[in-house]
Chain A
């Protein structure tokens, strides 16, 4: 068995491999389902039904996908420029903190003004958390993987501090939660009486925006150039340090928007369990999407569907919903393999 580089990759092939890798992932996950003593067919059927089998299920999947689109875009933007932002979780929470602080009556504005202001504040807050590590990287060569990762824990402790102090809801019966945001700071629901909210639309618009930046602007060109070959980019005169900071602002801002969207669109207040790891899941989403912003939407819906579907499945089939994690992890591994196979071919003798 040998591996040879492919000189060119057909469009069909590059579309085929993700699809095949998803099937391979399901097959592998099926083995684990067998271990837990259930029938893979019925389990996957239940997962699929739980994710997309009804209007309710589908809306629930899209609701869950919304923050993942934001954090996925945040990771995709940063990784494209080889800025290894592992701090999506911290940026998410800072966006949520900004929204919960300013949205609970501090700014007496009508909603057409208040919502954009909150969005902006959340983006700035998210970006601020990433600009620090980016500057340390540019100035002193500090590894941003370490700084952004550790900031996650610092920010979560900071949120905990806020929720037990200045942001604590006086009528919250002692629970560590903030007061609810005012009505003017609430994103409208897309369908009356359902949980899917306007944040989903903002997420889709963000994906298109990021795609536009990537494909059409000088900023996107700079980010790609720096990501692919920083030495040549610098040689050609691209201001690498500034590009890193721009990337950090965009990436952190997108993750901050996720926090805004969850507070203003879904939960209404800030709690310590606002994110079940959306920041980290965003990395998986971005990798599954091969860092393509439109692909991020598809990958986010896929990952969200598996989690939502697995919850529903575990209630009826008795297989632990952890199988969702296994499925996501195996799909990621299969996708990475598929990426390799799009660039190289394996020759069996």
Chain B
């Protein structure tokens, strides 16, 4: 079963030098076209045993296409893949798995209602296998988990696991299938900072166990922290290969984007009048406390940043202003009026621009066109409709204008939005909500999953809205984002908000402690505080 018994280790083979472990994977001159788009252009990559390499590139640079070719989902137009010295037949995921390649996708492929071990063995066992043999599978999983220091209960139901734990299950799944080469596609996009840290530790033990890892990302500091070598892709081409310790993140950023990145500039500004306010708001759902006694003020020309690990009430906070959640106690006050039952449509009418945290499901309707998506908040008012009839001419003109003003890259206003990249989707959403000169902007994770260029663009737009007098609530897990943009910063922890601190007075350490729950002891219910 194990790879070491294969005859590739015959003594006749020339020995690899001690310093240079054997090459386990070689991608040679991979070229892949989609219509007129050159997704990969003669890309060459090598991976050695026990090595972790970074594959860095903006969204649409061709990272995912390359990995899909490696994994057999796509067939390359030119080039070849060699694994452990043997050429891999193109277009057969089963061959890639058999050759020892395991892939952990950005979006997990687990069945929520099954247990961890059921998910792991799913598809590896014939379905008539007797249940008594599950015992052996569980023992093997436990053994793997132990030897690589991966901490998961094999009998737990996947639906109850945290995102970080699910990712560990995905890794175990690959290990269970005897993976020797692990591909991680944007593995930290869904993780909290702490979970990312745990992942990096897991990776270390995998490397120590002789595995090789390809780490796909567009987060520079992760590349710097985790990888030994890094390949930079841009527009389908391999732009550079660098040893991580001989490069800097600025260097990589420039290689990746192909231009210097403008860093956000925030000029000090006197806060204007109070535009919106939460006063002692508590939100519960099915008995679960989402927000407890939260108060905050949004002022014109000011950005209030909410830091915190995901799942500490940020969603409910955004939903309050979006009209999707309502205060069970306390008041939501906008422009001096209390809104106990704000509907999303009221939110739009009140001039609240909402940038949802999940742009694919909340933000856009993938099967509708760019023009139709831009209409979503405004379709039932002039100039887009009269007497229930939609003026498509006006809609297309509006779309054309947003596409130009917000630099949305799409073939035409009639293109289905699902064909757009994440960055362009976000630009479309920005155009939809910011073009109407909003008074209040609620931005939830506005740059999550975006590449460096798109992040800079989003930040620029938020700052522009702020300087034209909008009050901005910026909810983000990305501390750097919060610190570089916000005027005042609060931390969300278990549905509570810490009192805001001015940016000038804040330190990373202070925020980090708050994110871990320090300073919340008084305000939390007793049992919750103890549990911490």
The residues of A with any CB-CB pair to B shorter than 8 Å are: 2, 4, 7-8, 216-219, 221-222, 224-225, 228-229, 231-239, 347, 349
Closest to B363 in A: A232
The smallest C-beta distance from A299 to any residue of chain B, in angstroms, reads 21
Give the residues in chain A near B375, CB-CB below 8 Å: 221
Contact of A225 with B323 in the complex, beta carbons under 8 Å: no
The smallest C-beta distance from A9 to any residue of chain B, in angstroms, reads 10
Contact of B388 with A237 in the complex, beta carbons under 8 Å: no
Closest to B72 in A: A2
Closest to B74 in A: A4
19 residue pairs A–B, Cβ–Cβ below 8 Å: A2-B73, A2-B91, A8-B419, A216-B392, A218-B385, A221-B372, A221-B375, A225-B376, A228-B365, A228-B366, A229-B366, A233-B376, A235-B344, A235-B362, A236-B348, A237-B347, A237-B377, A347-B91, A349-B90
A296 to B265 CA separation, bound complex (whole angstroms)? 57
B6 at the interface (CB under 8 A from A): no
Contact of A231 with B366 in the complex, beta carbons under 8 Å: no
Closest to A217 in B: B388
Q: B351-381 interface mask toward A, CB cutoff 8 Å, 1 = contact, 0 = none?
A: 0001010000111111110001001110110
A222 to B389 CA separation, bound complex (whole angstroms)? 12
Q: How large is the interface on B (under 10, 10 to 19, 20 to 34, 35 or more residues)?
A: 35 or more
Do A235 and B368 contact each other (CB < 8 Å), given the known contacts A221-B390, A349-B91?
no
Give the residues in chain A near B364, CB-CB below 8 Å: 229, 232
A239 to B346 CA separation, bound complex (whole angstroms)? 11
Checking A2, A219, A237 against B75 with a beta-carbon cut-off of 8 angstroms, the contacting residue is A2
Q: B61-91 interface mask toward A, CB cutoff 8 Å, 1 = contact, 0 = none?
A: 0000000000001110000000000000011
Checking B356, B388, B392 against A219 with a beta-carbon cut-off of 8 angstroms, the contacting residue is B388
Q: Is the interface of B mostly helix, strand, loop or mixed?
A: loop
Do A236 and B344 contact each other (CB < 8 Å), given the known contacts A216-B389, A217-B388, A217-B390?
yes
Give the residues in chain A near B363, CB-CB below 8 Å: 232, 235
Give the residues in chain A near B347, CB-CB below 8 Å: 237
B135 at the interface (CB under 8 A from A): no
Q: Which of A221, A225, A231, A236 has the most CB of B within 10 A?
A: A236
B239 at the interface (CB under 8 A from A): no
Give the residues in chain A near B368, CB-CB below 8 Å: 224-225, 228
Closest to A235 in B: B362
A127 to B438 CA separation, bound complex (whole angstroms)? 41
Contact of B35 with A7 in the complex, beta carbons under 8 Å: yes
Known: A2-B75, A225-B368. 11 other contacts (CB 8 A): A8-B419, A219-B388, A221-B390, A229-B367, A231-B361, A232-B376, A233-B376, A235-B354, A236-B344, A237-B377, A349-B90
Contact of B388 with A238 in the complex, beta carbons under 8 Å: no
Q: Which of A224, A228, A233 has the most CB of B within 10 A?
A: A228
A4 to B344 CA separation, bound complex (whole angstroms)? 37
A229 to B359 CA separation, bound complex (whole angstroms)? 12
Contact of B366 with A237 in the complex, beta carbons under 8 Å: no
Contact of B365 with A225 in the complex, beta carbons under 8 Å: yes
Give the residues in chain B near A236, CB-CB below 8 Å: 344, 348, 376-377
B228 at the interface (CB under 8 A from A): no
Give the residues in chain A near B107, CB-CB below 8 Å: none
A222 to B388 CA separation, bound complex (whole angstroms)? 11
A333 to B388 CA separation, bound complex (whole angstroms)? 37
B324 at the interface (CB under 8 A from A): yes
Contact of B91 with A238 in the complex, beta carbons under 8 Å: no
Contact of B344 with A347 in the complex, beta carbons under 8 Å: no
The smallest C-beta distance from B196 to any residue of chain A, in angstroms, reads 27
A221 to B391 CA separation, bound complex (whole angstroms)? 12
Give the residues in chain A near B419, CB-CB below 8 Å: 7-8
Give the residues in chain A near B343, CB-CB below 8 Å: 237, 239
B322 at the interface (CB under 8 A from A): yes
The smallest C-beta distance from A237 to any residue of chain B, in angstroms, reads 4
Checking B324, B354, B372, B390 against A234 with a beta-carbon cut-off of 8 angstroms, the contacting residue is B324
Do A218 and B362 contact each other (CB < 8 Å), given the known contacts A228-B368, A235-B322, A349-B91?
no
A243 to B388 CA separation, bound complex (whole angstroms)? 13
Contact of B361 with A232 in the complex, beta carbons under 8 Å: yes
Checking B345, B362, B367 against A237 with a beta-carbon cut-off of 8 angstroms, the contacting residue is B345
The smallest C-beta distance from B321 to any residue of chain A, in angstroms, reads 12
Give the residues in chain A near B90, CB-CB below 8 Å: 349
Contact of B366 with A218 in the complex, beta carbons under 8 Å: no
Contact of B35 with A8 in the complex, beta carbons under 8 Å: yes
The smallest C-beta distance from A180 to any residue of chain B, in angstroms, reads 40
Give the residues in chain B near A2, CB-CB below 8 Å: 73, 75, 91
A234 to B90 CA separation, bound complex (whole angstroms)? 43
Contact of B35 with A233 in the complex, beta carbons under 8 Å: no
Checking A7, A225, A228 against B34 with a beta-carbon cut-off of 8 angstroms, the contacting residue is A7
Checking A4, A221, A237 against B348 with a beta-carbon cut-off of 8 angstroms, the contacting residue is A237
Give the residues in chain B near A237, CB-CB below 8 Å: 323, 343-345, 347-348, 376-377
The smallest C-beta distance from B35 to any residue of chain A, in angstroms, reads 6
Give the residues in chain B near A234, CB-CB below 8 Å: 324, 344
A116 to B356 CA separation, bound complex (whole angstroms)? 48
The smallest C-beta distance from B355 to any residue of chain A, in angstroms, reads 11
Checking A217, A232, A239, A347 against B345 with a beta-carbon cut-off of 8 angstroms, the contacting residue is A239
Q: B430-459 interface mask toward A, CB cutoff 8 Å, 1 = contact, 0 = none?
A: 000000000000000000000000000000
The smallest C-beta distance from B20 to any residue of chain A, in angstroms, reads 35
The smallest C-beta distance from A10 to any residue of chain B, in angstroms, reads 11
Q: Which of A219, A235, A238, A239 has the most CB of B within 10 A?
A: A235
Contact of A347 with B390 in the complex, beta carbons under 8 Å: no
Q: B298-333 interface mask toward A, CB cutoff 8 Å, 1 = contact, 0 = none?
A: 000000000000000000000000111000000000
A233 to B377 CA separation, bound complex (whole angstroms)? 9
Give the residues in chain B near A233, CB-CB below 8 Å: 365, 376
Contact of B390 with A238 in the complex, beta carbons under 8 Å: no
Closest to B359 in A: A232
Give the residues in chain B near A216, CB-CB below 8 Å: 389-390, 392
